């Protein structure tokens, strides 16, 4: 091979690299490991972790993963392919993305969906940028105080560099204050959009009656961030009159895996389709007259539009989109509802039992879904430690005296009763 290339040594392949920057040393890395040693090392590192029975949420929920999914996801034809540029040998990917888009549009009650985003926080930041781009000269976005602070932080990062003004809408009793929003809408100029969350950060199912009308009257876009799985039963962003629905799809059975990979979703109304970032798969025909699927509306994207693109996003989170597509196919219309109802029931059972101990009170007198905040009359940190010692991740601390608990269909009555017994 070297002789055909016309060099004598591998080293000579780099003759044009100036000597001053040529790397000649040894990397300070471990010596090569056999497969067995790699496995042993990770098992040893894994033994320093302690997976816990999860009663925490705050955006990441411990739902059950049906066995079918990891089996199908490990198929090499899915796993080791790349972006489906060559439609003729990528119908597998294109086909499931079309199904994914269809399911997400159904779940959110919106017209259309893109092929997925990185995660819920970046999808939300992209939605904020999209609202500003659609709003022409408007560059202010109002964000409810009940939005997850982690989402808010990412939105603020993007907004800072885009020169977007973020103003907070105050909350009252744990829910977005509509009258405050109305005042803001009538006094502030340049409002391109409004971002709210459902269920909100505290697990509360807010009443967004009147929001769409108020926002649309000022020509702003209504952005709703939701936990995907909850939309199987909750009134949808579409029903609330949202223009853009975004959030994380992790709740559709994706393992916790220390924060990622998850999958962001973004859905919107039909008229916003050309403003939407990310990949979109559409139906077409091939030259044999067969139905086929293909990446479409690419004129919005970076590889064509470069600096004028709707976003710099390139890849989506394809394999995780496949994950949730298979999840929704298996669970179907009925199973998703049942899982949501079980989560709702478990959370309300836990809340009742906690309050009954006399040590906890609900912080907000509001309807909640599968997550809620309680005030504890003892030492919160000591209680959390006791939970961990007993193998339980007992909620996320949201204030010095407040814990936020989440329950999914995975939590049994016995596990909940054990948690209660640790509080007594």
Partner 1 sequence: MNNKLYGNLIFELSQEGRRGYSLPKNRFGKNYEIPTGMRRKADAQLPECDEMTVVRHYTNLSANNFGVDNGFYPLGSCTMKYNPKINEEVAALPQFAGLHPLQPAATVKGAEAVCTLLCRSLCELTGLHAFTLKPFAGAHGELTGLMVIKKYHESRNDDARHLVIVPDSAHGTNPASAAVCGLEIIEVKSLSDGTVDVDALRDLVAQHGPEIAAMMMTNPNTLGLFERQIPTIEKMVHECGGLMYYDGANLNPMLGAARPGDMGFDVMHINLHKTFSTPHGGGGPGAGPVGVREGLEQFFPVVSPYHGNFAVAMRAYAYILSLGREHVKEVGPLATLNANYIKESLKDLYELPIDGLCKHEFVFDGLKDKSTGVTTMDVAKRLLDYGYHAPTIYFPLLFHESLMIEPTENESKETIDGFIAVMRQIAEEAKTNPDLVKSAPHHTPIGRVDDVLAAKHPVVTYKQLQNDTN
Considering only residues 180 to 199 of the shown chain, the ones binding partner 1 according to CB under 8 A are: none
Residue 233 contacts partner 1 per CB under 8 A: yes
Residue 98 contacts partner 1 per CB under 8 A: yes
**Complex with partner 1: residue 243 or 409, whichever CB lies closer:** 409
Stretch that binds partner 1, among 24-32, 171-179, 181-189, 213-221 (CB under 8 A): 24-32
Residue 257 contacts partner 1 per CB under 8 A: yes
For residue 277, what are the contacts with CB-CB under 8 A and spacing of at least 6? 114, 117, 126, 129, 130, 266, 300, 310, 311, 313
Among 179, 183, 312, 357, which residue interacts with partner 1 (rule: CB under 8 A)?
Answer: 312
Stretch that binds partner 1, among 135-143, 167-175, 181-189, 307-315 (CB under 8 A): 307-315
N- to C-terminal Cα separation, the chain: 74
**Complex with partner 1: residue 184 or 301, whichever CB lies closer:** 301
Stretch that binds partner 1, among 139-147, 177-185, 214-222, 276-284 (CB under 8 A): 276-284
In angstroms, what is the minimal distance from the CB of 360 to partner 1?
18
Residue 348 contacts partner 1 per CB under 8 A: yes
Give me the helix-helix angle, 380-389 and 413-423, nearest 10°.
130
In angstroms, what is the minimal distance from the CB of 200 to partner 1?
13
**Complex with partner 1: residue 64 or 364, whichever CB lies closer:** 64
In angstroms, what is the minimal distance from the CB of 239 to partner 1?
6
Tokens of 132: 């500003």
Among 179, 186, 284, 421, which residue interacts with partner 1 (rule: CB under 8 A)?
Answer: 284
**What whole-number distance in Å separates Cα of residue 293 and Cα of residue 97?**
9
In angstroms, what is the minimal distance from the CB of 419 to partner 1?
14
**Complex with partner 1: residue 67 or 187, whichever CB lies closer:** 67
Which of positions 351-370 make contact with partner 1 (CB under 8 A)?
Answer: 367, 369
Stretch that binds partner 1, among 4-12, 136-144, 178-186, 213-221 (CB under 8 A): 4-12
Burial 162-181 (b: 16+ CB within 10 A, else e): eebbbeebebeebbbbbebb
The 102-131 contact track toward partner 1, x by CB under 8 A, reads: xx-xxx-x-xxx-xx-xx-xx------x--
Instruction: Give the number of C-alpha atoms closer than 13 A to the C-alpha of residue 70, restricted to the C-beta side.
Output: 7
The beta strand positions in 117-174, using DSSP E, are 140-144, 165-169, 171-172
In eight-state DSSP terms, residue 302 is H
**Complex with partner 1: residue 54 or 215, whichever CB lies closer:** 54
In angstroms, what is the minimal distance from the CB of 187 to partner 1?
27
**What whole-number distance in Å separates Cα of residue 12 and Cα of residue 243?**
58
**What whole-number distance in Å separates Cα of residue 268 and Cα of residue 246?**
9
In angstroms, what is the minimal distance from the CB of 35 to partner 1?
5
**What whole-number distance in Å separates Cα of residue 11 and Cα of residue 8?**
8
Which of positions 393-412 make contact with partner 1 (CB under 8 A)?
Answer: 393, 396, 409, 412
In angstroms, what is the minimal distance from the CB of 325 to partner 1?
8
**What whole-number distance in Å separates Cα of residue 146 and Cα of residue 366?**
13
Helix, strand or coil, per DSSP, at residue 37:
helix
Judge whether 239 and 106 are in contact, CB under 8 Å.
no
Helix (H) or strand (E) holding 267: strand 264-268
Nearest to residue 52, comparing CAs of 385, 329, 392, 372?
A: 392
Among 8, 136, 137, 163, which residue interacts with partner 1 (rule: CB under 8 A)?
Answer: 163
For residue 306, what are the contacts with CB-CB under 8 A and spacing of at least 6? none
**Complex with partner 1: residue 84 or 193, whichever CB lies closer:** 84
Residue 89 contacts partner 1 per CB under 8 A: yes
Tokens of 33: 């490991």
In angstroms, what is the minimal distance from the CB of 185 to partner 1?
25
Residue at token pair 């042993």: 40
Nearest to residue 217, comparing CAs of 175, 244, 182, 245?
A: 182
Residue 162 contacts partner 1 per CB under 8 A: yes
């Amino acid at each position: 091979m070297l002789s055909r290339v016309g060099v004598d040594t591998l080293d000579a392949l780099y003759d044009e690299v100036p000597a001053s920057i040529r790397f000649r040393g040894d990397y300070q890395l471990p010596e090569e490991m056999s497969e067995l040693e790699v496995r042993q090392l990770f098992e040893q590192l894994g033994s320093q972790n302690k997976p816990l029975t999860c009663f925490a949420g705050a955006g990441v929920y411990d739902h059950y993963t049906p066995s079918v999914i990891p089996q199908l996801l490990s198929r090499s034809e899915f796993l080791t392919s790349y972006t489906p540029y060559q439609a003729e040998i990528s119908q597998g990917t294109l086909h499931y993305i079309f199904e994914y888009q269809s399911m997400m549009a159904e779940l959110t009650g919106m017209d259309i969906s893109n092929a997925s985003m990185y995660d819920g926080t970046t999808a939300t930041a992209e939605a904020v940028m999209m609202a500003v781009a659609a709003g022409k000269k408007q560059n202010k976005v109002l964000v409810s105080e009940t939005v997850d602070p982690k989402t808010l932080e990412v939105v603020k990062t993007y907004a800072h560099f885009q020169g977007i003004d973020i103003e907070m809408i105050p909350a009252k009793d744990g829910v977005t204050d509509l009258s405050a929003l109305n005042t803001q809408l009538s006094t502030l100029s340049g409002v391109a959009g409004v971002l709210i969350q459902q269920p909100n950060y505290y697990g509360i199912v807010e009443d967004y009656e009147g929001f769409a009308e108020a926002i649309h009257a000022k020509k702003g876009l209504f952005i709703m961030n939701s936990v995907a799985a909850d939309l199987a039963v909750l009134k949808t962003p579409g029903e609330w009159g949202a223009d853009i629905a975004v959030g994380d799809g992790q709740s559709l059975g994706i393992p916790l895996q220390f924060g990622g990979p998850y999958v962001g979703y973004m859905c919107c109304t039909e008229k916003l389709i050309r403003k939407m970032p990310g990949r979109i798969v559409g139906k077409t025909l091939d030259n044999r007259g067969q139905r086929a699927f293909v990446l479409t509306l690419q004129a919005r994207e970076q590889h064509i539009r470069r600096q004028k693109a709707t976003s710099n996003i390139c890849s989506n989170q394809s394999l995780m989109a496949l994950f949730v597509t298979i999840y929704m196919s298996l669970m179907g219309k009925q199973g998703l509802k049942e899982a949501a109802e079980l989560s709702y029931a478990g959370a309300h059972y836990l809340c009742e039992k906690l309050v009954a101990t006399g040590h906890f009170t609900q912080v907000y007198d509001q309807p909640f879904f599968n997550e809620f905040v309680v005030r504890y009359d003892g030492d919160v940190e000591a209680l959390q430690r006791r939970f961990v010692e007993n193998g339980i991740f007992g909620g996320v601390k949201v204030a010095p005296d407040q814990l936020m608990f989440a329950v999914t269909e995975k939590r049994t009555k016995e596990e909940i009763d054990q948690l209660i017994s640790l509080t007594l």
